């Protein structure tokens, strides 16, 4: 059964001419398949519409349906016009809607007499309820009317689409045409036994019902079915990828060799936690299996991942191989280089450091040592190691702070033939649903436990007027020989201002604390300067380190017991948690102060409150996702998270679990999808992968 029709350009569907095709293409809709994958953004039925009479201003969004009885463009200050309309739903019950942007085109598409559905947050303004910049849709005479009990689908209403006349009404028409033409070809694309077992609505019915539901119940089942399908196909991709990887051969690495044993018995200054031992058992099992290891080590900040990586590296050295440790920033690399060097030098292991600032001469020498095997452990930034380093016998690659690289980059690490065991580490606990999606093809070890003897961190949000108290607290800590971090945000959009903040903060603190040395570290400094400042702080020469978020990950100074985070309301929750992880690393109780603006959004208040209440990174990550939504969880960092069309990782955890189980079971039974009963699904699955632009070989 061919699904070639999915690739046909939308232009050949009734109601779409070259003009509309062009506009649709701008929104990423080029083929029948794209159009079919589109999901209404909202539905309208009698029960979801509010009466104007019942409105009261509030933070909740509502939908109102009424007839436009007046329109007008009103001149405002500084020549800025606004467009206003008055809408009536019952005789004498009226409200306003106002637009300050897009006045030109909106005033052309809304006319007196139109029936509109308006969606927004109403406020009372000058005695009348009013929407500002509501979503709007024409819901006219022609076509279905909700008064007859119908449920009407509303579509993404970007300005470009609407300007081109692609209103929801037009979309409904286009999709109606699509079904008229291609509906018959939309058979069931999941295996029949799966559909039966999961009690799913049949594929073709679901695809129709999502646009033209006959009842709320049918709509609910259609949404469930399509969410399931989307998550199932994505998990099928991960299952295929994992099954593929599980067949890749790997170097067989044993355990308990000379170096590892000496390290554990003579050098390690503490006993490993249960979580560390368990992670090492997982790693040992993987590396011994004859297959390539692909393991993610997820551990909260301070859970002690570095030593786990060190022991894994010793295992491969014991077997006569080399290891590489990669980190995203030079500071982190330098720190790994120092701490791994300190741990391993007594064993006679040669550790090398390769970053962007390694001089040409050093680099030549080091590369030669890596190539002939005399350098057994190479630490370096990602880009540098990836870029054509020739190893003598590389058997293990550790990638620290994996989340900073993103899924797609992780794939291209070693494509040149070297197939080392991969140990990915991340200190950012992420919600389970995201982990299953981003790392669903990997084996995962989680370390929730922290090393014993850790002191608690007290976290408190304070206001500017309490600054003097905060400085007093810092003085007391410093008097006891402790050290303090003062952190400023660094947001790309306002980089210059932020930098100025940190620089003037450094001056102010130097004046406040004349007896001690105050360091400044920020991203614009040269690597060498940064390193010197960090080293002075790490050795205890300076008592205060002022920095932008460059210290976010990995820095380890046990005597630092105090952290002041300036403009705390501007940080994301996970980022705040990472920062806080820099303190509470020694034997002393620590304090984290969040200095925040008096006025804040509800969301930032809840973020800071969460910081006060818990320091469990996994709990924090779930709250963070709730506040930001799954898509924004990683902020502006490229996360590699696929864009789901209908599923939502925040709310669809249960569907994800079911879909994942089903997908992995299916791949176990039929790893390369050759069974006759899977062929139809396979064509859809291939189309899914193609359409989403995900290349299998690039995952993992
Ligand atoms: P992270 O997981 O954040 O990378 P690190 O590896 O930097 O954590 O470890 C944090 C600190 O805890 C380091 O100072 C390390 O020496 C110490 N540490 C690690 N494991 C243990 C342990 N089992 N017992 C005591 N201290 C430990
Ligand atoms: Mg670390």
More confident residue, 272 or 246: 272
How many A from CA of 58 to the centre of ligand 1? 49
Look at residue 483 and tell me whether its pLDDT is greater than 70: yes
Phi and psi for 389 in degrees, rounded to 5? Answer: -85, 130
How many A from CA of 627 to the centre of ligand 2? 26
Nearest CA to ligand 1 atom 22: 451
How many A from CA of 301 to the centre of ligand 1? 9
How many A from CA of 510 to the centre of ligand 1? 31
With the most atoms of ligand 1 within 8 angstroms of its CB, the residue from 271, 304, 311, 454 to mutate is: 304
- Separation of alpha carbons 504 and 309, rounded Å: 39
How many A from CA of 550 to the centre of ligand 2? 14
For range 653-682, the mean pLDDT: 94
Pocket of ligand 1 (CB under 6 A): 270, 272-273, 276, 299, 301-307, 427, 451, 556, 585
Instruction: Specify whether the CB–CB gap between 541 and 559 falls below 8 A.
Output: no
CATH number for the segment(s) 48-149 = 2.40.50.140
For range 109-129, the mean pLDDT: 89
Residue 298 DSSP class: E
With the most atoms of ligand 1 within 8 angstroms of its CB, the residue from 279, 299, 306 to mutate is: 306
- Classified as helix, coil or strand, 116 is strand
Nearest ligand to residue 307 Cα: 1
Do the first three CATH levels of 258-447 and 457-614 match, i.e. the same topology?
yes
pLDDT of residue 144: 56
Topology annotation, domain 457-614: Rossmann fold (3.40.50)
Look at residue 443 and tell me whether its pLDDT is greater than 50: yes
Phi and psi for 414 in degrees, rounded to 5? Answer: -130, 85
Nearest CA to ligand 1 atom 12: 304
CA dist 553 to 402, 427, 491, 583, 602, Å?
Answer: 11, 8, 16, 12, 27
Instruction: Specify whether the CB–CB gap between 447 and 527 falls below 8 A.
Output: no
How is the beta sheet containing 421-426 ordered, strand by strand?
Answer: 351-354, 377-381, 322-327, 394-399, 421-426, 294-299, 443-447
pLDDT of residue 639: 54
- Locate the ligand 1 atom nearest the alpha carbon of residue 400 and give its number: 4
* pLDDT band at 556; cut points 50, 70, 90: confident
* pLDDT band at 271; cut points 50, 70, 90: very high
How many A from CA of 159 to the centre of ligand 2? 46
- Separation of alpha carbons 3 and 185, rounded Å: 8
pLDDT of residue 699: 37
- Separation of alpha carbons 444 and 436, rounded Å: 10
Nearest ligand to residue 452 Cα: 1
CB within 8 Å of 205: residues ≥ 6 apart = 218, 222
Beta-strand (E) ranges in 315-442? 322-327, 351-354, 377-381, 394-399, 421-426
How many A from CA of 340 to the centre of ligand 1? 12
With the most atoms of ligand 1 within 8 angstroms of its CB, the residue from 302, 448, 557, 581 to mutate is: 302
Nearest CA to ligand 1 atom 27: 451
Nearest ligand to residue 272 Cα: 1
Q: Tens digits of per-residue pLDDT, 350-378?
A: 999 998 888 999 999 999 999 999 999 99
- Classified as helix, coil or strand, 215 is coil
- Separation of alpha carbons 344 and 310, rounded Å: 8
Look at residue 511 and tell me whether its pLDDT is greater than 60: yes
CB within 8 Å of 452: residues ≥ 6 apart = 273
Q: Read off the tokens for 395.
A: 């058997």
- Separation of alpha carbons 218 and 196, rounded Å: 17
- Classified as helix, coil or strand, 212 is coil
For range 190-208, the mean pLDDT: 94
For range 45-62, the mean pLDDT: 86
How large is the C-alpha radius of gyration of the chain? 30
Phi and psi for 329 in degrees, rounded to 5? Answer: -125, 160
The two counts, helices (H) then strands (E), for the chain are 24, 23
Look at residue 85 and tell me whether its pLDDT is greater than 90: yes
Nearest CA to ligand 1 atom 19: 304
Phi and psi for 191 in degrees, rounded to 5? Answer: -55, 140
- According to DSSP, the β-strands at 483-487 and 560-565 are parallel
Instruction: Specify whether the CB–CB gap between 165 and 142 falls below 8 A.
Output: no
Task: Quote the crossing angle between the two packed helices 330-344 and 305-318, to the nearest 10°.
Answer: 60
For range 679-698, the mean pLDDT: 74
- Classified as helix, coil or strand, 21 is helix
Among residues 655, 649, 599, which one has the least CA distance to residue 628? Answer: 649
Look at residue 663 and tell me whether its pLDDT is greater than 60: yes
Task: Quote the crossing angle between the two packed helices 617-628 and 573-580, to the nearest 10°.
Answer: 160
How many A from CA of 682 to the centre of ligand 1? 47
- Separation of alpha carbons 44 and 136, rounded Å: 12
* pLDDT band at 430; cut points 50, 70, 90: confident
Q: Give the total residue count for the chain.
A: 700
How many A from CA of 268 to the centre of ligand 1? 11
pLDDT of residue 700: 35
Look at residue 236 and tell me whether its pLDDT is greater than 60: yes
Burial class (CB within 10 angstroms; exposed 0-12, middle 13-18, buried 19+) of 481: exposed
Among residues 534, 592, 516, which one has the least CA distance to residue 561? Answer: 592
Domain 258-447 CATH superfamily: P-loop containing nucleotide triphosphate hydrolases (3.40.50.300)
143: left (phi over 0), alpha (psi -120 to 50) or beta: left
- Separation of alpha carbons 514 and 9, rounded Å: 71
- Locate the ligand 1 atom nearest the alpha carbon of residue 339 and give its number: 16
Nearest ligand to residue 559 Cα: 1
For range 212-226, the mean pLDDT: 95
pLDDT of residue 417: 54
- Classified as helix, coil or strand, 597 is coil
pTM of model > 0.85: no
pLDDT of residue 354: 94
Extents of the domains making up the chain: 1-45+154-186, 48-149, 258-447, 457-614
616: left (phi over 0), alpha (psi -120 to 50) or beta: beta
Nearest ligand to residue 299 Cα: 1
Instruction: Specify whether the CB–CB gap between 564 and 474 falls below 8 A.
Output: yes
Torsion angle of C-alpha atoms 610, 615, 619, 621, degrees rounded to 10: 80
CB within 8 Å of 69: residues ≥ 6 apart = 86, 87, 88, 94, 112
- Separation of alpha carbons 651 and 226, rounded Å: 14
How many A from CA of 261 to the centre of ligand 1? 19
Find residue 378's DSSP bridge partners.
Answer: 324, 352
CA dist 477 to 277, 460, 471, 591, 645, Å?
Answer: 35, 16, 10, 10, 52
Nearest CA to ligand 1 atom 5: 304
Look at residue 638 and tell me whether its pLDDT is greater than 50: no
Look at residue 602 and tell me whether its pLDDT is greater than 50: yes
CA dist 488 to 227, 265, 310, 474, 579, Å?
Answer: 41, 42, 32, 17, 11
CA 343 to chain centre: 34
Look at residue 397 and tell me whether its pLDDT is greater than 60: yes
Nearest ligand to residue 297 Cα: 1
Nearest CA to ligand 1 atom 17: 304
Q: Read off the tokens for 389.
A: 């380093």
Q: What percent of the chain has pLDDT over 70?
A: 91
Mark 655-690 as b/e (b = at least 16 C-beta within 10 Å): bbebbbebbbebbeeeeeeeeeebebbbbbbebbbe
Q: Mapped to the 3 state alphabet, what secondary structure does 357-389 carry? A: CCCHHHHHHHHHHHHHCCCCEEEEEHHHHHCCC
- Classified as helix, coil or strand, 636 is coil
Sequential DSSP letters for 504-532: HHHHHHHHH-TTS-EEEE-TTS-HHHHHH
How many A from CA of 306 to the centre of ligand 2? 6
Nearest CA to ligand 1 atom 13: 304
pLDDT of residue 697: 36
What is the helix (H) or strand (E) element at residue 658, kind and residue range? helix 653-669
Instruction: Specify whether the CB–CB gap between 488 and 501 falls below 8 A.
Output: yes
Mean pLDDT value across the chain: 86
Burial class (CB within 10 angstroms; exposed 0-12, middle 13-18, buried 19+) of 173: middle
Nearest CA to ligand 1 atom 18: 304
How many A from CA of 19 to the centre of ligand 1? 61
Nearest ligand to residue 343 Cα: 1
* pLDDT band at 42; cut points 50, 70, 90: confident
């Amino acid at each position: 059964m061919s699904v070639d029709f999915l690739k046909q350009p939308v232009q050949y569907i009734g109601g779409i001419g070259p003009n509309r095709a062009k506009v649709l293409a701008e929104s990423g809709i080029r083929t029948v398949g794209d159009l079919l994958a589109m999901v209404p953004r909202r539905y309208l039925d009698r029960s979801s519409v509010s009466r104007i009479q019942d409105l009261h201003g509030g933070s909740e969004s509502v939908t109102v349906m009424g007839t436009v009885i007046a329109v007008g463009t009103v001149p405002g200050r500084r020549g800025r016009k606004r467009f206003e309309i008055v809408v009536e739903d019952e005789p004498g019950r009226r409200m306003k809607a106002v637009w300050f942007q897009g006045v030109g085109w909106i005033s052309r598409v809304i006319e007196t007499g139109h029936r509109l559905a308006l969606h927004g947050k109403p406020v009372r303004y000058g005695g009348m309820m009013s929407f500002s910049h509501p979503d709007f849709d024409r819901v006219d005479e022609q076509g279905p009317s909700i008064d007859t009990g119908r449920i009407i689908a509303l579509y993404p209403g970007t300005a470009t689409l609407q300007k081109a006349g692609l209103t929801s009404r037009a979309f409904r028409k286009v999709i109606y045409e699509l079904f008229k033409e291609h509906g018959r070809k939309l058979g069931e694309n999941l295996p029949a036994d799966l559909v039966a077992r999961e009690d799913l609505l049949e594929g073709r019915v679901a695809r129709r019902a999502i646009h033209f539901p006959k009842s709320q119940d049918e709509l609910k089942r259609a949404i469930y079915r399509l969410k399931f399908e989307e998550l199932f196909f994505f998990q099928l991709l991960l299952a295929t990828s994992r099954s593929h990887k599980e067949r890749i051969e790997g170097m067989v690495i044993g355990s308990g060799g000379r170096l590892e044993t000496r390290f554990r018995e003579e050098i390690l200054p503490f006993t490993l936690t249960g979580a560390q031992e368990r992670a090492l058992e997982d790693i040992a099992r993987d590396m011994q299996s004859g297959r390539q290891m692909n393991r993610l080590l997820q551990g909260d900040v301070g859970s002690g991942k570095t030593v786990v990586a060190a022991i894994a590296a010793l295992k491969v050295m014991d077997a006569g191989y080399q290891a590489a440790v990669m980190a995203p920033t030079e500071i982190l690399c330098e720190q790994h280089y120092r701490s791994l060097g300190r741990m391993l030098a007594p064993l006679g292991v040669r550790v090398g450091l390769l970053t962007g600032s390694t001089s040409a001469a050093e680099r030549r020498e080091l590369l030669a040592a890596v190539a002939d095997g005399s350098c057994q452990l190479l630490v370096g930034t990602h880009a540098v190691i990836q870029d054509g380093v020739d190893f003598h016998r590389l058997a293990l690659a550790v990638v620290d702070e994996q989340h900073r690289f993103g899924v797609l980059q992780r794939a291209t690490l070693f494509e040149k033939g070297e197939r080392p065991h991969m140990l990915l580490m991340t200190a950012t606990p992420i919600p389970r649903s995201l982990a299953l999606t981003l790392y669903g093809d990997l084996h995962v070890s989680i370390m929730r436990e922290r090393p014993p003897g850790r002191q608690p961190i007290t976290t408190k949000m304070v206001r500017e007027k309490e600054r003097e108290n905060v400085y007093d607290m810092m003085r007391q800590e410093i008097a006891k020989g402790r050290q303090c971090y003062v952190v400023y945000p660094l947001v790309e959009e306002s980089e210059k201002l932020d930098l100025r903040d940190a620089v003037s903060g450094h001056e102010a603190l130097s004046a406040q604390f004349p007896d001690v040395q105050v360091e400044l570290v920020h991203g614009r400094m040269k690597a060498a300067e940064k390193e010197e400042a960090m080293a002075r702080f790490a050795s205890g020469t300076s008592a205060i380190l002022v920095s932008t978020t460059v210290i976010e990950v990995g820095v380890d100074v046990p005597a630092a017991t105090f952290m002041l985070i300036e403009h705390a309301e501007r940080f994301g929750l996970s980022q705040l948690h990472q920062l806080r992880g820099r303190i509470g690393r020694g034997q002393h109780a620590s304090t984290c102060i969040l200095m925040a603006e008096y006025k804040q959004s509800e969301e930032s208040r809840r973020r800071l409150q969460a910081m006060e209440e818990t320091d469990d990174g996994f709990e924090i990550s779930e709250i963070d996702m709730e506040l930001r939504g799954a898509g924004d969880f990683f902020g502006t960092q490229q996360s590699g998270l696929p864009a789901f069309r209908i599923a939502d990782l925040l709310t669809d955890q249960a569907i994800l679990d079911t879909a994942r189980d089903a997908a992995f079971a299916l791949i176990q039974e039929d790893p390369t999808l050759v069974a006759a009963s899977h062929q139809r699904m396979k064509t859809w699955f291939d189309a899914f992968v193609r359409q989403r632009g995900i290349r299998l070989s690039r995952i993992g």
